[in-house]
Amino acid sequence: MARGRAVARRSVAAPRCWRRVTLADLARTVHFRSTELKGLEPSLEATVHFTNAQPWTFTNGAHLAVVEIDVDSGRVRVLRYVAVDDCGRIVNPALVEGQIAGGIAQGLGGALMEHCAYDDAGQPLCGTLMDYAVPTAADVPPLELHHLETPAPSIAGGYKGAGEAGTTGAPAAILNAVNDALAPFGAAITDQPITPERVVNALRESGRG
């Protein structure tokens, strides 16, 4: 492939006598006149094998949550959520924002309400959305999303993932905010989801509930 054309390998060194065809003509021939390609398997696929010195990449970010806790009922309400993520080179900003916002909503659900419960026989007790709580739009505060763009050095295009950032950052940000709010009472929570019952129990165990 050279200069937008398919070029015979032996012709590359002699540009003036290239045996060449445009990519459009090549695609048209393969698709509509494949019988003319005698002795060839008509296909526009290519397979290349190579070893990458660093065959992975990951997203970096920082998430911050501000919460309010009703110490009588144990209810946790997220007042503010700020996220700064570095997803590498951003191609579609709206898509990236949607991925991160959706991941944060999922992370909030895991941190505050989603829980798979089973009875002594191993049967699920939350087989429907009547029993398994998931976050709604009313549970997600306005999100303040910011971006950095540090291209991944070993990935073509410098791209990184986006959707995982919110899901992994939110549970830790929420738990840290809750424990920061409970610290003056000498209480702390280590398990998720952070249900009102767990908050009330933590306050009682600290002698402040």
Q: Which residues are catalytic?
A: 164
Q: What letter represents residue 25's amino acid? A: D
Classified as helix, coil or strand, 203 is: helix
> What stretch of H or E contains 93?
helix 93-112
Classified as helix, coil or strand, 164 is: helix
Residue 206 is encoded by which pair of tokens?
């600290």
The four Cα atoms 8, 14, 17, 20 give a dihedral, to 10 degrees, of 30
Taking Cα atoms as reference points, which of 184, 149, 190 lies closest to residue 69?
Answer: 184
